[in-house]
A and B are shown apart, each in its own frame.
Chain A
């Protein structure tokens, strides 16, 4: 299994541009998450999904959108990029909402907005 994969690894955007961060997992996990990690900080939840067609906002959803049309894919869309969205973005998945289940993280996407 590849686990959780993310593309691209690194991207530079100009202010006002849009882009989609891709996330795919091959573990048939129901739950998927998008986090951002600012320098020297912990992770903040942007959006999460409990299954195909079902998504919900996390702590910091403004400026982002998500969709989940399949179990495997959970893309994150940035509209009108702003410098405040410069961060490292991690996608994660989890098999079930069972207490013993931890999250599995992708390698991250570094985004720089100039």
Chain B
């Protein structure tokens, strides 16, 4: 069974601090996707990581992928309140790229 695990599940951090969210997965897929969900809202795509060593940055968020370790990280730099949301990682099912498997999410609260 394909598993996608995120940690931490809950994260409360002060504005201005840095932190990293981890996403471990059990499949051999080389592709990983990050999404953001605001409370009561839908999911918004953040990053698509397509190969080992891929790194993408958008504002205060940077995502990376290590396919050998089956690990992706989402690094938050100098957090601001607007980053408060739940972050999900997802992997695809490999050949054919038909199905996506989501982690349980990391609920991030940035405190002023």
Contact = CB atoms under 8 A, between A and B. Distances in A.
Contact of A45 (B31, B41, B42, B99): B99
Interface in A48-82: 48, 50, 56, 58-59
Contacts of B97: 97-99
A48 B98 CA distance: 8
B104 to A, nearest CB: 5
A48 B42 contact: no
Contacts of B98: 31, 48, 50, 56, 97
Contacts of A56: 98
B4 A108 contact: no
A58 B93 CA distance: 11
Contact of B102 (A42, A97, A108): A42
Nearest to A42: B102
Nearest to A96: B97
A102 B43 CA distance: 11
Given A45-B99, A103-B100, A108 B42 contact: yes
Of B41, B42, B45, B101, most A-chain CB atoms within 10 Å: B42
Contacts of B48: 99-102
Given A42-B105, A100-B50, A106 B99 contact: no
Contacts of B103: 42
Contact of A107 (B4, B31, B41, B88): B41
18 contacts: A40-B104, A42-B4, A42-B102, A42-B103, A43-B102, A45-B100, A48-B98, A48-B99, A59-B99, A97-B96, A97-B97, A97-B98, A99-B92, A99-B97, A100-B50, A102-B45, A104-B45, A108-B41
Interface of A: 31, 33, 35, 40-45, 48, 50, 56, 58-59, 90, 92, 97-108
Interface of B: 4, 31, 33, 41-45, 48, 50, 88, 90, 92, 96-105
